[in-house]
Amino acid sequence: MLKTIGLRSVDDLFAPIPAEYRLTRDLNIPRQMAESEIVDFFRQRSRENGDGYTSFLGAGAYFHYRPVIIDSLISRGEFLTAYTPYQAEISQGTLQSIFEFQTMICELTGMEVANASMYDGSTAAAEGVMMAVRLTGRRSVVVARSLHPEYREVLATYATHQGMPLSVAGFGDDGRVNLRELEKLITPETACVLIQSPNFFGTIEDVAAIADIAHKHGAMLVVSIAEAVSLGIVEPPREADVIAMEAQSFGVPLGFGGPYCGVIATREKYVRQMPGRLVGQTVDKQGKRGFVLTLATREQHIRREKATSNICTNQALVALMVNIFMTVYGKVGLKELAKQNLAKAVYAAGQFAKHGKVLFGGTPRFNEFVVQTSEDPYAINSRLLGHKMVGGLPLKKFYPELGNAALWCCTELTTRSAIDTAVGLVAESERSVRSSSTKEEVEEVAR
Amino acid sequence: MKHITRKATRHVNQNEGLIFEKSSAGKAAWKLPPLDVPEVDTAALLGASERKDLGNMPEVSEIEIIRHFTRLSTWNYAIDLGMYPLGSCTMKYNPRVNEAVARVEGIANGHPYQPEKISQGALHIIKTLSEQLIEITGMDVITLQPAAGAHGEMTGLLMVRAYHQSKGNARKKILIPDSAHGTNPATAAMVNYAVENLKSDSRGMVDIAALEAQMNEDVAALMLTNPNTLGVFEQDIHKIADILHAKGGLLYMDGANMNALVGKVRPGDFGVDVMHLNLHKTFSTPHGGGGPGSGPVAIKKALEPFLPTPVVTTKSDGTLGFDYNRPLSVGRVRAFYGNFGMFVRALAYIQANGPDGLRQTTEDAVLNANYIRKGLEGTYDLPYSTPTMHEVVFSDKVQLKKGVRTMDIAKRLIDYGFHPYTTAFPLIVPGALMIEPTESESKEEMDLFIEAMKSIAEEVEEDPQTVLDAPHSTRVSRLDETAAARKPVLRWKPAM
C-alpha cells in the first residue's frame, strides 16, 4: 500500500506534523492484553463492586428485571454498529424502531410528541426548561426542592450562563411542593415551574393544582419523571406542557449511573422548539411508507449557533432497550409490573413504620419512601453491609432538615424476606439507641 | 445496473409493519413471579392519581418481538456488514469483548449511590481510564462526566468561562473556523459566548494573518478541530497557540479526529489547553444508531479547580472515593458520573491495544485514507492537495457537469453494498465527499470501495440517470423529506 501511494515508510505519512511534537517513545500505558486477561481484569473489578448485594437504593436509578431478549436484540450488529440514521434508505430498522419508541412514550406520558432521546433525565429536565424559556420569552424558573437534587444541580449549571435565575419552592409536611410558597415565587418573568412526580421522596405531586397555579400566571409546567415504571399505575402528568423523563427503569442496566435514556415529550404545537432528533413518517418515490429524521432545521448541524440545543449524539441504543422493554410488558404487563412495585413498597413502609418513622405517610406514593431513624442511617447501613445489604440512601447530604432520614426503594425484585431482614436490622438499631438513651437518662439521674 | 451485479447481491425478507399493527388483546411476552406480599387496593392508595388505562400500548408475543426487531435490523447497514466510510464519525470495528465485559454482573448492576466501600471496582475503572487518557492526550487532568462530544464541548467551554472569570473577565466570544462541526457554534451559544467565524487559507488551514487580526482580549478561546475536517493537520498549531496565549486566550481542541493522532502526537504537547474526546469514535465504543457516546474533557492544570463535581480521589486509607467539595467547580453537567458503561468499553479497547497497538491503529488509519486518496485522485476532484491524515475530502465538481451531486453518488454507493461517505461537509468544500476508512478496513475492502467509486464515476458519464435515481436495491427508494417536515407525522395513531 505504501508503494501504491509512493511513500517509503509509514513515518512519511506523519511528515505534516512538525517533528518537535511527534512522539518518539511508547505511550506509558500497560502492554497489550489478551482477551482472557481483559475479561479477568473486569471480573475482578466486578467482585469489588457490590456484586451479590441486595439493595434498597433507588433515587433516580432503579433495579428492575431486564428481559433477556433486550440484550439478544440490541446485540445484533445491525443495531449496535450502525450510525445515526441520516441515510434513510439503509436505516429503516433504526428509524422505524425510533418511531415506535416515540409513539409508546406519547401513549405513556399522555403527550403528543416525543423525541428520539436525550442524554439522561437530568439533562432532559434542563433542556425542557430551556425550551419553556424560548417558548414564553421569559427567563426565570421556579424549581421544586422535591426534584432530584442532582437534577437541580445540573439545571443550575445550564442556567448560570443562560441568564436564567432559579428559585426553589420547598415541600410541606406531606412531602409535596408547598403550593402557597410556589405561587409566591412565580412572577411575571417566570417561564416555567419544574417539578418531579413521583418526586424524589417517591411521593406523587398534585400535578393538576401546580399546573393551575403555573398557567394562571402564564408560566409553563415542566414535569420530570425519574421512575418510568410508575407510569404503569400512576396517572401521567397530562396537565404538563413538557415532560422530561428518565427511562432507565425500562430495561436499562444500572451500570453505575449510565448510559441511561432521557426523553422529552410535549404538545405538538411546541415541537419546533424541541431539542434533539425526531423521526417522522413519509413515503418514498413509489408511495411506500418509510421513516426519516425530520425537522432538522432545529438542530446544530443545520442551524449552528441558532439551534435549539447543541445535542448531536444521543442515547439511541439505550432508547432501543427501552423500546423493547415497553414492547415486552405492553399494555397489561406494565400495569401489573407497577402494581407489584407498589405492593412491595406498601408492605415495606408498613413494616418500617412499626419501628421507625415513615415520613409523608398520608400522601399517595409509588415505590420509594423516607424512613426517619434515631440512629444515623450511615451507621445503620454499615451494619446492613455486613449482611450483604445496601440500605436506603441517607438524605443528610441533600436534605439536612430531615435529620436521620433515608430514602428506601422497593421494586418487583425486592423479596419479602429481604425486606424483613432489613426491617429487623433497623428495628434492632432503634431498640439499642432507645435503651442506651434510657441508660444515659438513668445515669444522669443517678449522678 | 451492469456494474453492480458482480459484487453485491440482494435477498428477500418479510415486510414488517409497526408493532402496533400486530397487537391484539391477550398476547403477552412477560411473566411476573407470584407476589410474596399482600395485594394492594390501588384505587384506595392512589385515589385520583390511579391510572386506569395504558392506551395503545402493544400486546404481542415473544417470538413476534424477536422477529419484529430482527427483521427491522436487517434493513440497517452497519459496520458489521461492510465499510462505513463516514468522514468525521470514525466508524471503526466495535470489539465484542467490550460488550462482554460491560455485562459482567457487578459492573452492569452497580448502583451509582452504593457505598464507596463496595464501589471500588467502578472507581478503579474510572481512575485507570482517566490516567490512560491523560497519557494519550498529554494533558494534566480529565473529567469523564460528559455524555457525548457536544456535552464535552459545553463542559470544556464552561471551564474556559470559569477560568477567565477567575481572572476578572469572562470575555465575550469564541473563534470558530469555517470548517468546524455544527456543534461548536451551538455549544458556544449555550455557554453564552458570541461566535466569530475564522477563515481558512488556501491550504484548508487556519489563516494565521486572519487569526492575528481577529485575536484580542474579547476572545475567550479558539475551538479548533485538529486534524481539521479536511483531514489536514494544522501545521502552524504552535503559532496558533502562541497567538491565543499572548492575548490570554485558550486553545480548545475538538478531539473528533483524535484517531489520526493517538500514539503519534499529543495535543497537550502542542499547546492545547482544553479538549474533548469521543469514546464512541476514537475508542471503539459502538455508535448504536446514534448513541450513547461519551465525551471526556481533558484540561491543563490551570483549569483544574473548575472541573465538574464529583472528582475521583484517592483517600488517606488508599481507597478511592468521590470528592464533592470543590468550591470553584462549574457544577454538575449530568446526574451521577457519566456514561460509565462506555468507560468500561473504552478501557477494554486500550487494554487490547497497548502502546504499540494504539500507535499502529493510528498509522493504519492514516495509511488507509491515503490509499483511498491515491485510488480516487483523478476520478474525483481533490479541492485541497494538502497532505491527508485519517480522512480525505473530494468534491463533486467533475460529476456536477452531468448534473450529479455528492448526495446522488452517495445514494448510488448504497447499491454497491457500502454505506455512503459524509456528504456536503465540511461547508468550505462545495459538494464535499468526506471519506474516513479507519484502520479497520483491509486492502481488499478498500479496493472494492475504490472500484465502486470509479464505477459510479463511469456511470455518471454514460448513464447519469441511474445515479440520480439511486438507490435501486433498497427496501424503500429515496424518501420524501420535504413532506415529512411540512406535515410532521411523529407517532402512530390507530385508524379511526
Residues B149-174, mean pLDDT to the nearest whole number = 97
Share of chain A above pLDDT 90, in %: 90
Phi, psi for B313 (deg, rounded to 5): -135, 160
Q: How far is B179 from chain A (nearest CA, A)?
A: 12
How many C-alpha atoms does A282 have within 13 Å on its Cβ side? 27
Segment A393-429, tens digit of pLDDT: 999 999 999 999 999 999 999 999 999 999 999 999 8
Q: How far is B398 from chain A (nearest CA, A)?
A: 23
Residues A63-92, mean pLDDT to the nearest whole number = 97
- Closest CB to A100: pick one of B18, B50, B287: B18
> Does the beta carbon of A253 lie under 8 angstroms from any beta carbon of chain B?
yes
Q: Do A50 and B48 touch (CB under 8 A)?
A: no
Q: Do A311 and B109 touch (CB under 8 A)?
A: no
Dihedral in degrees, nearest 10, Cα atoms A51, A56, A62, A63: 40
Residues B292-313, mean pLDDT to the nearest whole number = 98
As beta bridge partners, residue A194 has A143, A222
> Does the beta carbon of A385 lie under 8 angstroms from any beta carbon of chain B?
yes
From CA B347, how far away is CA B349, in angstroms rounded?
5
Please list every residue in chain A whose beta carbon sits closer than 8 Å to the beta carbon of residue B338. 257-258
- Closest CB to B65: pick one of A49, A69, A332: A69
Best of B71, B83, B107 to mutate (most A CBs within 10 Å, chain A): B107
Share of chain B above pLDDT 70, in %: 99
Residues A263-275, mean pLDDT to the nearest whole number = 97
Query: What's the angle, vertex CA A194, arms to CA A190 and CA A199, rounded to 5?
Result: 155
pLDDT value, residue A411: 98
Q: How far is B195 from chain A (nearest CA, A)?
A: 7
> Does the beta carbon of A318 lie under 8 angstroms from any beta carbon of chain B?
yes
- Closest CB to B331: pick one of A79, A157, A268: A157
Of the pLDDT bands very low, low, confident and very high (cuts 50, 70, 90), residue B4 is low
Segment A212-249, tens digit of pLDDT: 999 999 999 999 999 999 999 999 999 999 999 999 99
Please list every residue in chain A whose beta carbon sits closer than 8 Å to the beta carbon of residue B285. none
Q: Do A305 and B188 touch (CB under 8 A)?
A: yes
Task: Please check the confidence at residue A47 and state whether its pLDDT lies above 70.
Answer: yes
Burial code of A171-205, b = ≥16 C-beta within 10 A, e = fewer? beebbbbbbebbbebbeeebbbbbbbbbbbbbbbb
Residues B461-481, mean pLDDT to the nearest whole number = 95
Best of B30, B123, B158 to mutate (most A CBs within 10 Å, chain A): B30
Burial code of A10-46, b = ≥16 C-beta within 10 A, e = fewer? beebbebbeeebebeeebebeebbeeeebbebbbebb
Segment B339-392, tens digit of pLDDT: 999 999 999 999 999 999 999 999 999 999 999 999 999 999 999 999 999 999
Of all helices (H) and strands (E), which one includes residue B15?
A: none
From CA A392, how far away is CA A371, in angstroms rounded?
8
Chain A, chain B: beta-carbon pairs less than 8 Å apart: 642
pLDDT value, residue A377: 96
pLDDT value, residue A442: 43
Please list every residue in chain A whose beta carbon sits closer than 8 Å to the beta carbon of residue B293. 313
Q: Which of residues 319-348 of A touch B (CB under 8 A)?
A: 320, 324, 326-337, 339-340, 342-344, 346-347
Segment A118-166, tens digit of pLDDT: 999 999 999 999 999 999 999 999 999 999 999 999 999 999 988 899 9
Segment B75-121, tens digit of pLDDT: 999 999 999 999 999 999 999 999 999 999 999 999 999 999 999 99
- Closest CB to B233: pick one of A16, A32, A102: A16
Q: Do B190 and A292 touch (CB under 8 A)?
A: no
Q: Do A78 and B80 touch (CB under 8 A)?
A: yes
State the complex-level ipTM.
0.97
Task: Please check the confidence at residue A447 and state whether its pLDDT lies above 70.
Answer: no
Of the pLDDT bands very low, low, confident and very high (cuts 50, 70, 90), residue B307 is very high
Cell, residue A157: 449549571
Segment A355-365, tens digit of pLDDT: 989 999 889 99
Q: Which of residues 165-184 of A touch B (CB under 8 A)?
A: none
From CA B147, how far away is CA A431, in angstroms rounded?
46
Burial code of B466-479, b = ≥16 C-beta within 10 A, e = fewer? bbbebbebbbbbbb
pLDDT value, residue B435: 97
Residues B251-266, mean pLDDT to the nearest whole number = 97
Q: Name which residue leads in pLDDT, A142 or A50.
A: A142
Of the pLDDT bands very low, low, confident and very high (cuts 50, 70, 90), residue B6 is low
Segment A338-384, tens digit of pLDDT: 999 999 999 999 999 999 899 998 899 999 999 999 999 999 999 99
Find the residue in A nearest to B269 (Cα). A21
Let me know: does A291 contact A280? Beta carbons within 8 Å.
yes
Cell, residue A48: 469489588
What pTM value is reported for the model? 0.96
pLDDT value, residue A301: 84
pLDDT value, residue A438: 53
Cell, residue B398: 467533475
From CA B29, how far away is CA A337, in angstroms rounded?
13
| DSSP, res B422 | E
Helix (H, G, I), strand (E, B) or coil at B330: coil
> Does the beta carbon of A72 lie under 8 angstroms from any beta carbon of chain B?
yes
Q: Do B118 and A306 touch (CB under 8 A)?
A: no
Task: Please check the confidence at residue B186 and state whether its pLDDT lies above 60.
Answer: yes
Share of chain A above pLDDT 70, in %: 98
- Closest CB to B186: pick one of A33, A46, A300: A300
Of the pLDDT bands very low, low, confident and very high (cuts 50, 70, 90), residue B208 is very high
Q: Do B76 and A318 touch (CB under 8 A)?
A: no
- Closest CB to A282: pick one of B39, B191, B484: B484
Of the pLDDT bands very low, low, confident and very high (cuts 50, 70, 90), residue A84 is very high
Let me know: does A392 contact A345? Beta carbons within 8 Å.
no
Q: Across all residues in chain A, what is the average pLDDT?
A: 95
Contact residues for A219 (Cβ-Cβ < 8 A; gap 6+) = A132, A136, A138, A142, A186, A190, A191, A192, A193
From CA B445, how far away is CA A353, in angstroms rounded?
67
- Closest CB to A393: pick one of B80, B113, B489: B113
Please list every residue in chain B whose beta carbon sits closer than 8 Å to the beta carbon of residue A73. 65-66, 69-70, 73
Best of B14, B24, B76 to mutate (most A CBs within 10 Å, chain A): B76
Q: Do B119 and A256 touch (CB under 8 A)?
A: yes
Q: Across all residues in chain B, what is the average pLDDT?
A: 95
Whether omega before A400 lies within 30 degrees of 0, making that bond cis, reads no
